[in-house]
Structure 1
Amino acid sequence: MTPPDPDTPLFDVDTPVALTPVERLLALADLYTQHNDAIDLLFTGRAPLPPDAYVSSSHRLERETLASIKTVRQQHLPAVEPVTSAVVRLTQTAYLAGGATRYLAAAQQAVPAEDAEERRPDPRRGFGQYLRLARELTALAPAAIVASATQIATRLPQRARSTTTLPALDTAQRGALLEVAQGHVAVTGQYSERGYGHTVPVPVDALRHLEAQGLLTREPATVPPLFPHGPSRDRVRLTALGITVLSTVINTVHIPGPPAARPIPAPAAAGTARAHR
């Protein structure tokens, strides 16, 4: 199989060319959400992309995370809590993305024959096990990145902030934007059913209003169903404008902070995955 090109993106993010540090982090969180959704679809028996595309995607996540850390450090922020923990947490995320890349590379070498009877990967062995391990390493990345962006935003100098004129948003709408940024919101149909958030309620009316303002968009059928044989769900994502708007209000929205981050060693190479059976 042809080795993946690490410079070929699996996903594109609808963002402006010039990004502030917080905007860049929000766009990065969105990339992780799309990556995780794509792997989740593999477990439902859907594989719209070639195996090497997932390796390229994971490698890109690691590279983009390191680039975002560099951008934050260039702001010469004070070495105080919670900024230092935010940077360490981003560094941990980069390490985990590197580990996920290795697991996905191992999965690529273990792809079952095209005529295999089992269409859904078995998460306990071979190809499916490598996929599961890779997915676990990036599972919490969107929320961790958004939490770090929130902490960094409180210390950014004015020159590094967006100057976009803000639309009027109430508390529920700001909370909905934050939930979407963390990859917590998926819906079925045309918002005919409720959205699913993790830390705050996500009213469907708020989602409709934000989409009408051009702050949200939906990616149809990119999230697996909630139950077997159920309908696929649409991932709700921030648009370029939504990223910019949230970046300007993110430090005014409550988000439960994770515990202070501590350095951790890089994940074990994919070759050791068999020990996890």
Structure 2
Amino acid sequence: MTTPSDDALLFDVHAPAPATPVERLLGLADLYTQHNDRIDLLFGGRADLVPNAYAASSLRLEREALTSIKAVRQQPLPAIEPVSSAIVRLKQIAYLTGGATRYLIAARQAVPEDDVEHARPDRRHGFGQYIWLARELTALAPQAIVESATHIAARLPDRARSKTTLPGLDASKREVLLEVARGHVIVSQQYSERDYGRTVTVDVEVLRCLEDQGLVTREPGSAPPFFPGGPSLDRVRLTALGISVLSTVLDSPRHVSMPAVGPVPAPAEANTTHARR
């Protein structure tokens, strides 16, 4: 198997400079969300099949994960729970991503050569099965990275923390920022009215306020539809400012909830609850 290059990634890598360890982790979670969205769009017939890009992006995610782990381990963190478990989970994510890369390389080699442009993946057979297996390995990465970052942020020295603050960032805004960081917030536009939805309720007015403050942004058509055949949705993502601001308030113990990390299938398109209006 040949190693994929970074010539055509599914996402842009723009790490804050200089980035704190927590900012790196929040940016990494966002990259995983973008990567997973593109695979979901591919299965929904909403994205072109670019065989090299998927494997190259997975390999880049693995490298970024290892770089983030190195940045964390360079800090004088106490060798206690839950810090040690958080670092182990980050390592697990990197290892699982390596497995995903191998599946995506195998998928690239299994793509029909005679009609690549019109090939559509079937998760039960051929190259589609390899792609779906890779998707399962990265399904929980965004949430697991954010929760690991939460444990680490609580014990970082002041010199390793972002100094970016924003007045008026109350608990409701912080909670929505966390949901965005975890890759849980998407937007649909129907009947000329914006409609927010995911598997938990998100306050629309709070989300709009965060947009106005430049902490989150919407990426049109970058998320899979709620239902098969439906329109592509807009992913809500943290901006660079949003990453910096969230990193300064990420160490509240009540937000800590470490999920398991493993090859768990991605959430189905159904069972999505709309936000309050």
TM-score norm. by structure 2 comes to 0.87
User: How has the CA–CA distance of structure 1 residues 134 and 240 changed in structure 2, closer, same or farther, with 3 Å as cutoff?
Assistant: same
* SS at structure 1 position matched to 2:217: strand
2:154 aligns to what? 154
1:145 aligns to what? 145
Note if contact 1:65-1:93 (Cα within 8 Å) is conserved in structure 2: yes
Q: Distance in 1 between matches of 2:57 and 2:85?
A: 26
The size of the alignment, in residue pairs, is: 261
Q: Distance in 1 between matches of 2:24 and 2:103?
A: 26
2:5 aligns to what? 5
Amino acid at match of 1:59: L
Structure 1, 9-18 or 236-245: larger mean CA deviation: 9-18
Structure 1, 59-68 or 110-119: larger mean CA deviation: 110-119
How far the C-alpha of 1:168 sits from its partner, in A, is 1.1
In the alignment, does 2:127 pair up with 1:127?
Answer: yes
Amino acid at match of 1:46: R
Q: Distance in 2 between matches of 1:191 and 1:38?
A: 25
Q: Distance in 2 between matches of 1:38 and 1:197?
A: 19
User: How has the CA–CA distance of structure 1 residues 13 and 169 changed in structure 2, closer, same or farther, with 3 Å as cutoff?
Assistant: farther
1:86 aligns to what? 86
5+ residue gaps, structure 1: 268-277
1:273 aligns to what? none
How far the C-alpha of 1:53 sits from its partner, in A, is 0.7
2:38 aligns to what? 38
Note if contact 1:100-1:133 (Cα within 8 Å) is conserved in structure 2: yes
Deviations 1:138-175 (A, max 9, x none): 00000000000000001000000011132312222111
1:226 aligns to what? 226
Q: Distance in 2 between matches of 1:260 and 1:188?
A: 29
In the alignment, does 2:210 pair up with 1:194?
Answer: no
* SS at structure 2 position matched to 1:192: strand
Q: Distance in 2 between matches of 1:114 and 1:178?
A: 45
* SS at structure 2 position matched to 1:18: coil
1:240 aligns to what? 240
* SS at structure 1 position matched to 2:101: helix
User: How has the CA–CA distance of structure 1 residues 259 and 59 changed in structure 2, closer, same or farther, with 3 Å as cutoff?
Assistant: closer
1:271 aligns to what? none
Structure 1, 49-58 or 189-198: larger mean CA deviation: 189-198
Share of identical aligned residues, percent?
Answer: 66
In the alignment, does 2:102 pair up with 1:102?
Answer: yes
How far the C-alpha of 1:116 sits from its partner, in A, is 7.9
Note if contact 1:217-1:238 (Cα within 8 Å) is conserved in structure 2: yes
Q: Distance in 2 between matches of 1:74 and 1:260?
A: 25
